[in-house]
Chains A and B, each alone.
Chain A
């Protein structure tokens, strides 16, 4: 399992998610709500 997956607010823009994917070289970016839970 890959830990330290970057997360992003569900209100953020897609550009920010792409930037995170590239910078962190992560397999995915978790989209979380205001409480930090994985958004559904």
Chain B
């Protein structure tokens, strides 16, 4: 009901067809997306409640959509708060910024999780990556850092097991504190 009143939602088949297209804007998706009735009636539900509503409706994938709607409403509220802050208490502007950013962040996070649900990790992992051995010296790691574009290096023992990760910051710190002859496993 909120979607229909605020966003002018419609439930006809033609508008529903474009819901999953990435080229369709968020508002257009909201107009066309038929959410479970209980989610529609409570779009601003807190996180846990939204999950429960989506789960109980038998459509867990709708959680992301419900979050997107809740975030949109939160952003509208943030705009309202910011507008009021311009003419009243300036503290409202800071609250509005916080609410807006939090809503955006939450929506992006949930959307990313939803998109990654069916993607195998092998499809996203880095395969051409330089590795370091725990016994290697810091200067060898520095050479590798300069030779590659990586900022983190997996440290792998002779058996191929992951021992840790050496970051650029770790490397610079170790170089400064221990010198170039120290072993990687030390820092």
Residues of A bordering B, CB below 8 Å: 1-5, 7-19, 26-28, 30-32, 36-40
Contacts and interface: CB of A to CB of B under 8 A. Distances in A.
A28 B162 CA distance: 11
Contacts of A12: 120-121
Contact of B121 (A4, A16, A26): A16
B34 interface: no
Interface string B138-181: 00000000000000101110011111111100100000000000
B120 A13 contact: yes
Given A13-B116, A15-B116, A27-B152, A5 B121 contact: no
B165 A32 contact: no
B21 interface: no
18 contacts: A1-B155, A1-B166, A7-B162, A9-B121, A14-B120, A15-B113, A17-B116, A17-B124, A19-B113, A27-B167, A28-B165, A31-B121, A32-B162, A36-B161, A37-B160, A37-B161, A38-B154, A38-B161
